[in-house]
């Protein structure tokens, strides 16, 4: 021990000094942790690190509302073509195939192989067929629900029950947002699909993780975003500060009501969006060449083209999850507008019309993302809520079929030109490497750097997750 000659003060030894200061550093670290937790509690959308290195930073899901027929789009079946019009009595115990009309319905479209992968594509996709070497096809999707609303909920939420959080809400809950001035989860639609808000619901998650919905009929305008002309920015800021303080005092007395915090945060986000959102949604800033790439100069694909271009602008600015629900077709077999791919009456006229409205914009999205270096960390998904029967409904239509259908993904860490799983020889039922929606969700979360078994939320005494009690990462399609 060393004694200072001019003082009776006894200085601590080196060991004692390190012990005491170590405790002090521990206190500082603990205080820092508390501050960080408080900050996260105050801002549920704060950016959170993934559990492991992600392949994708964002997702754009092109939802083909109404359910495209797999055997008329991406799943070529020579046997179905050969036996079109033939009667197939009974049910095959291996495939489960059963005809309601008694006759197979061959695809009315031409088919060709494309790309180095030799992928078969229907001739209704002249633009997307040029991108097959960037696409990972899943030909063995299946689910339980056989009607549009419950099937869409099952595909989006993992189970076909209302009140469950959707994939976009779960991704936002797990990762937060990279841009505090824009929502992390955005939904675009032209007509509200069956299932409505339940498809993209935040469910029992705090409403902070709810999607912002943009209606194409209003050119993507956001309701109640513009500040009143009679109020200056400083006046609005002062009003919001007072409102925040009052709401926080109210929320402190009600700690179990998570939606109070969500409401406070929504006011702040709306304020920040007043400057950022109009710029992000203004596609007039794009060049004429870019607009033409997306087909904005063609009436039949203007709406979907504008939505796809907007989606690119949003992910470019840090939006995490964007979903586009394809709207009404400009012509066809008279299908109800909210389910445009619903080809019950005439699969040829219906699918030609729907493909014409969506093919060029979807292909442009892939091309544009790739040119800007965004495709490698943006996962693009294409598909409907289920597939279609291999036999005819009426004469030339097809009925609902959840037993086997095709969905594809591009970019974001998946293999290009890859085909996973298969249906039977008629394209009716998934038979090889079957993929349930829980497996799809596990894979999407994995690409975002999240473990689907660890991403949980406690509700009503139970830890819930997007993949419910199932889910397997489809490692075969990872690049």
Q: At what angle do helices 347-371 and 302-316 cross, to 10 degrees?
A: 30
Percent share of the chain, pLDDT over 70: 74
146: helix, coil or strand? coil
Answer whether 358's CB lies under 8 Å from 326's CB: yes
Interval 408-450: pLDDT, tens:
999 999 999 999 999 999 999 999 999 999 999 999 999 999 9
Greater pLDDT, 406 or 261: 406
Q: What's the average model confidence in pLDDT over 364-386? A: 98
Token pair of 142 as six digits:
């299946």
- Whose structure tokens read 């991406």? 74
CA angle (478 as vertex; 120, 112 as ends), nearest 5: 5
- CA dist list (Å): 471 to 61, 182, 439, 440: 19, 31, 4, 8
Q: Which of 77-86, 374-383, 444-453 has the lowest mean pLDDT?
A: 77-86
Q: What's the average model confidence in pLDDT over 289-297? A: 97
Structural domains in the chain, sorted by start? 56-477 (3.40.720.10)
Cite the DSSP H helix spans in 92-147.
none
Token pair of 198 as six digits:
């339940």
Interval 176-218: pLDDT, tens:
999 888 889 999 988 777 777 889 999 999 888 999 888 766 6
Print burial letters for 254-272: b (CB count within 10 Å at least 16), e (below 16): eeeebebbbbbbbeebbbe
Nearest to 75 by CA among 455, 458, 429: 429
Whether the predicted pLDDT of 474 surpasses 50:
yes
Answer whether 447's CB lies under 8 Å from 163's CB: no
What pLDDT does 273 receive?
A: 62
Whether the predicted pLDDT of 30 surpasses 60:
no
Burial of 300 (0-12, 13-18, 19+ CB in 10 A): middle
Q: Are strands 422-423 and 430-432 parallel, antiparallel or unpaired?
A: antiparallel
Mean pLDDT across the chain:
85
Answer whether 302's CB lies under 8 Å from 190's CB: no
Interval 86-143: pLDDT, tens:
876 555 555 555 544 568 999 999 999 999 999 999 999 999 999 999 999 999 999 9
CA 451 to chain centre: 17
295: helix, coil or strand? coil
Per DSSP, the residues of 162-231 read: TTPPPHHHHHHHHH--S-TTS-SEEEEESSPPTTGGGGS--TTS-GGGPPEEEEGGGTTPPTT-SPPTTS
Whether the predicted pLDDT of 345 surpasses 90:
yes
pTM above 0.85, yes or no: no
Nearest to 337 by CA among 221, 194, 198: 194
């Amino acid at each position: 021990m060393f004694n200072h000659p001019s003082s009776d003060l006894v200085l601590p030894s080196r060991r004692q000094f390190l012990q005491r200061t170590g405790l002090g550093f521990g206190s500082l670290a603990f205080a820092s942790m508390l501050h960080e937790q408080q900050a996260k509690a105050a801002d549920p959308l704060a950016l959170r690190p993934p559990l492991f290195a992600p392949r994708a930073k964002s997702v754009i899901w092109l939802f083909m509302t109404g359910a495209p027929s797999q055997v008329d789009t991406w799943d070529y079946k020579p046997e179905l073509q050969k036996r079109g019009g033939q009667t197939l009595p009974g049910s095959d115990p291996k495939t489960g195939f059963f005809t309601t009309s008694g006759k197979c319905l061959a695809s009315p479209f031409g088919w060709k192989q494309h790309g180095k992968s030799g992928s078969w594509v229907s001739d209704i996709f002249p633009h997307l067929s040029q991108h097959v070497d960037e696409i990972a096809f899943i030909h063995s999707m299946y689910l339980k629900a056989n009607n549009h609303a419950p099937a869409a909920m099952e595909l989006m939420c993992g189970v076909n029950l209302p009140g469950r959080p959707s994939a976009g809400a779960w991704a936002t809950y797990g990762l937060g947002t990279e841009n505090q001035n824009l929502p992390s989860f955005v939904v675009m639609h032209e007509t509200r699909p069956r299932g409505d808000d339940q498809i993209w619901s935040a469910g029992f998650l705090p409403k902070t993780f709810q999607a912002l919905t943009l209606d194409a009929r209003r050119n993507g305008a956001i309701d109640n975003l513009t500040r009143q002309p009679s109020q200056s920015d400083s006046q609005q800021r002062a009003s919001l500060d007072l409102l925040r303080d009052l709401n926080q005092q109210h929320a402190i007395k009600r700690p179990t009501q998570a939606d109070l915090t969500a409401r406070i945060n929504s006011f702040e986000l709306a304020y920040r969006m007043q400057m950022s959102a109009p710029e992000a949604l203004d596609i007039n800033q794009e060049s004429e060449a870019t607009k033409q790439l997306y087909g904005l100069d063609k009436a039949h694909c203007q709406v979907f083209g504008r939505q796809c271009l907007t989606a690119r602008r949003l992910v470019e600015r840090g939006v995490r999850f964007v979903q586009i629900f394809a709207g009404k077709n400009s012509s066809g077999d008279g299908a109800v507008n909210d389910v445009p791919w619903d080809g019950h009456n005439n699969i040829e006229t219906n699918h030609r019309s729907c493909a014409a409205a969506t093919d060029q914009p979807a292909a442009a999205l892939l091309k544009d993302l790739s040119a800007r270096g965004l495709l490698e960390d943006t996962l693009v998904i294409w598909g409907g809520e289920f597939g279609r029967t291999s036999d005819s409904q009426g004469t030339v239509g097809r009925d609902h079929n959840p037993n086997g259908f095709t969905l594809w993904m591009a970019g974001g860490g998946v293999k290009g030109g890859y085909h996973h799983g298969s249906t039977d020889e008629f394209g009716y039922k998934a038979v090889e490497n079957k993929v349930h929606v829980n497996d799809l969700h596990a894979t999407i979360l994995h690409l975002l750097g999240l473990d689907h078994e660890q991403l949980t939320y406690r509700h009503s005494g139970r830890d819930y997750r997007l993949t419910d009690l199932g889910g397997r990462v489809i490692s075969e399609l990872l690049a």
